[in-house]
Structure 1
Amino acid sequence: MTHHRSVTVGAHEVFYREAGDRTNPTLLLLHGFPSSSHMFRNLIPLLADRFHIVAPDLPGFGFTKSPPRGQFDYTFDALAKVVEGFTDALDLTRYAIYVFDYGAPTGYRLALSRPERVIGIISQNGNAYEEGLSDGWNPIQAYWRAPTQANRDAIRSLLTLEATKWQYTHGVPDESTVAPESYVLDHALLSRPGNDEIQLDLFLDYASNVALYPAFQAYFAEKRPPLLAVWGRNDPFFLPAGADAYRRDNPNAEVHLLDTGHFALETHVAEIAGHIRRIFAPLS
């Protein structure tokens, strides 16, 4: 049974999904753009018998209630601090992190801040290497180089329903396997008043993640936590090279490329769950 809860973290009411016995190893599931903890709805039941699972919605996403833009800085540093406060509120002291898309730079900041607490990493299309960035980032990178209103407006198209649906269906061999409520819910929550400007702020601040890539890589090389990179090989934003690169810094990393796109859980949830159970269930 998955429970749907909220907890106060500073000025935020963080919505999260929780399942499993707290005496089992904890998995902290961190979603990415444009989704929420809803992306883990099919994965959680496949793991809850062996893990304690918590999956929060980041500020600006899902059902988490956060201050409006202007009262809270929507940056990745700020998102990571909220997640850190969330782990404190739930008294999570040791956990493996599952990171996807925006969840990667958020979770990796947490690992840098509290390395003794992170006992493993599952990266599902969660990038930490420049070679993992595709040409799909070109318009956003143009905005990094010149944060003009024109460049900001040029990437508003990424917030449309069509763009969200495309992120779910691009590179998927059979689009009928993708549940339409996934991208429709994402779009509905992204379309709340003022949320478009929040998302554009985060697009701009993603440059801070690339600047931290060397620090993330140094952490992988020094700490060498158990690491599983399971990747949709047809992802239009994060290339398979980003998955393979983990092995450069952590030779023990296990990499699996799947014939699907960005949202690999929509099509390969059972396979991903199997890898997680095999590698991470022995952790304690």
Structure 2
Amino acid sequence: MFSLPVVPLRVASIALAAQRGEIEQNAERVVARIERAARERIGLAVFPEACLTGGIGGGMSTPTRTMRRAQMKALAASVDGEHVQAVADAVERTGVAAGVGLIERAADGALYSSYVVCLPGGKRHVHRKLHADGQPHLASGDRFTVFEMRGGWRLAVLVGGDNYPVENARMAALLGAGLLVAPHASHETDAWMRRALPARALDNGLFVVYCEHGEGAIVDPCGQVVAQRAGGDETISAELDPALLGTSPAHRWLDTRRPDLYARLAHESRAGMPSFEPRNAGARGAVAVSFAVVRRNG
């Protein structure tokens, strides 16, 4: 059941262009930005996808898209490794929660584009990107990541292409999230993200924090962009008022949903199934219908 957070939350979308393979330097830059965020009284710092390792993003023709598995594996790191730990230590020292991305090397050898949110008190939440299309060496995650942080704020994480299917943001809302963290890495879809994320926020009654190393935006639950970055490395921030979650019309729409009508969304179409709901005509005989367009001269 959805409940409102009890205190405002100041969030920041922090631009950080990762240097591919320079994980130690990238981690140091992240830590420095967390420390700066603390001086600006930020409660949650959102960094881009793969900001620790690099290796994600770019166009289909760039080397990033044609990297061999061995090259990508060389970039990868564990979510329990020393560089994520350096971020967690900075979070504990400053009190600023932070989300950072990396190419994760899992215990079974699989590679993921993962996003780790470190919270004060030592908790970490790891989201594995659900839609790793265009990255043939990356596996896809299999679950949504929704969790609670201080002040009653319930967060969801969707990385990059996870934000494209409309169903994912809706699932985040149905799981009780009031804030969607949406880190990204590619420049190809900047214009799309600027249009789509306000719609995701409005449809689902969510705050959205979007971040990549050029673009960034913070959107309220009524679809209004309250802070925006268009290029450069400027940090943008905003204070999220929990009262706005209660005023979003989306919660009224969510209450009137008819899940029984949407069952087909959860199942692939089977061969021979019509792609629409057939309706049988019940009238007997023929009915003549005529139309006329009449123009009146004023």
TM-score range, shorter chain: 0.3 to 0.5
Q: Which has the higher helix share?
A: 1
Q: Which has the higher strand share?
A: 2
TM-score (norm 2): 0.31
TM-score (norm 1): 0.32
Of structures 1 and 2, the larger Rg is shown by 2
